[in-house]
Amino acid sequence: MAIDKSMNVLIVDDYKTMLRIIRNLLKQIDFNNVEEASDGAEALSKLRTGNFGLVISDWNMQPMTGLELLQEVRQDSKLKALPFIMITAESKTENVVAAKQAGVSNYIVKPFNAETLKDKIEKVLGHA
């Protein structure tokens, strides 16, 4: 299944350097329509007003965490099927389980490489 790389991707992280890194890595794999949000609340607002095909979010953010954002997305009738990848340094089993139970599409642990990002995106969008 061919992936539409012209889709809008929302990346969410409270750390600007990380947003910049993810944006550049996405650009390397031909995802050029990338928007940024610095926390879950801002992301949710953008998701509700925009047209996105993928969310890539950090976990540890305030005022709304990545997990809370995921839960909001899955409870929103218009967004609930949106592919959602969590990229986080939180690698404890209970974190991964909590994300899975909340409906995460895939989970990438930091530090990650471009190949892992590409692989997870293809898996998630291939199943979308």
Partner 1 sequence: MHDLASVNSRLEQLRQRYPQGDAEMIGNIVRAVLTTMRGDLTANETTLLAEIEELASTVANARAEIAALGADDITASHIPSATDELDAIVAHTATATDSILECCEKIDTVTPRLTPEDAEVMQDVVTRIYEACSFQDLTGQRITKVVATLKTIEAKVAHIIDVFPPDPTGDRAEAAAQARKDASDDVAPSLLNGPQLPANAMDQSDIDALLASFD
Binding residues for partner 1 (CB under 8 A) = 15, 17-18, 20-21, 24-25, 27-28, 59-60, 62, 65, 89-93, 95-97, 100, 106-114, 116
HSE-up (13 A, CA, CB side) for residue 78? 8
Nearer to partner 1 by Cβ, of 24 and 33: the residue is 24
> For the packed helices 66-75 and 93-102, what is the interaxial angle rounded to 10 degrees?
20
85 bridge partner residues: 56, 106
Phi, psi of 62 (to 5 degrees): -130, 150
How does DSSP classify residue 124? H
How does DSSP classify residue 15? -
Nearer to partner 1 by Cβ, of 79 and 109: the residue is 109
CB of 67 to partner 1, least distance (A): 9
Collapsed DSSP state (helix, strand, coil) of residue 105: coil
CB of 24 to partner 1, least distance (A): 5
CB of 79 to partner 1, least distance (A): 21
Nearer to partner 1 by Cβ, of 77 and 94: the residue is 94
Nearer to partner 1 by Cβ, of 48 and 110: the residue is 110
CB of 117 to partner 1, least distance (A): 9
- Tokens 């199943």 belong to 127
